[in-house]
Copies of this chain bind each other. A is one copy, B any other.
Amino acid sequence: MDDISKVWETLVQPEGGTIVYLVLDGLGGLPDPERGQTELQVAHTPHLDQLAAQSSCGLLDIVGPGITPGSGPGHLALFGYDPLIYAIGRGILSALGIDFALQEGDVAARVNFATIDAQGRITDRRAGRIDTATNRRLCEKIRQAVTLSFQGEYVFEAVSEHRAVLILRGPDLSGNLCDTDPQSTGVEPHEPTARTEEAHHTAQIVRSFVTQVRDVLADEQPANMILLRGFDRYRPWPSLADRFGLKGVCVADYPMYRGVSRLLGMEALPPPGGLEARLQALQSCYGDAYDFYFLHVKHTDSSGEDADFDAKVQALEAVDRLIPQVTALEPDVLVVTGDHSTPAVMGSHSWHPVPVLLRARTARIDDVSRFDEYACARGILGLRPGVHLMGLALAHAGRLSKYGA
Contact = CB atoms under 8 A, between A and B. Distances in A.
Interface residues of A, number: 66
B403 A70 contact: yes
B84 A392 contact: no
Nearest to A378: B378
Contacts of A348: 402
A88 B404 contact: yes
Most B C-beta atoms less than 10 A away, residue of A68, A346, A348: A68
B349 A68 contact: no
A377 B177 CA distance: 48
A93 interface: yes
A365 interface: yes
B4 A2 contact: no
Given A84-B7, A391-B66, A72 B383 contact: no
A362 B350 contact: yes
A374 B382 contact: no
B373 A377 contact: no
Contacts of A401: 68
A85 B1 contact: yes
B367 A405 contact: no
Contacts of A384: 65, 383
A2 B1 CA distance: 6
A68 B366 contact: no
- Number of this chain's copies in the assembly equals 2
Contact of A346 (B84, B362, B404): B362
A377 B388 contact: no
Contacts of A265: none
A403 B8 CA distance: 26
A380 interface: yes
A375 to B, nearest CB: 11
A227 interface: no
Given A66-B392, A374-B380, A405 B94 contact: yes
Interface in A353-376: 362, 364-367, 373-374
Contact of A382 (B2, B72, B82, B377): B377
Contacts of A64: 1, 4, 7, 391
Interface in A128-181: none
Contact of A65 (B2, B4, B93): B4
A274 to B, nearest CB: 24
A352 interface: yes
A351 interface: yes
A59 interface: yes
B405 A66 contact: no
B400 A351 contact: yes
A69 interface: yes
Given A65-B392, A67-B400, A72-B405, 10 more contacts: A7-B84, A8-B66, A66-B388, A68-B403, A71-B405, A90-B404, A351-B392, A351-B395, A373-B380, A378-B378
What are the nearest 7 A-B pairs in CB distance?
A66-B391, A382-B383, A70-B404, A66-B395, A65-B388, A1-B84, A73-B404
22 contacts: A1-B2, A7-B63, A7-B84, A8-B67, A31-B364, A64-B391, A65-B391, A68-B395, A69-B403, A71-B405, A83-B403, A93-B404, A93-B405, A94-B405, A230-B405, A343-B362, A346-B362, A348-B402, A351-B400, A352-B362, A377-B382, A378-B378
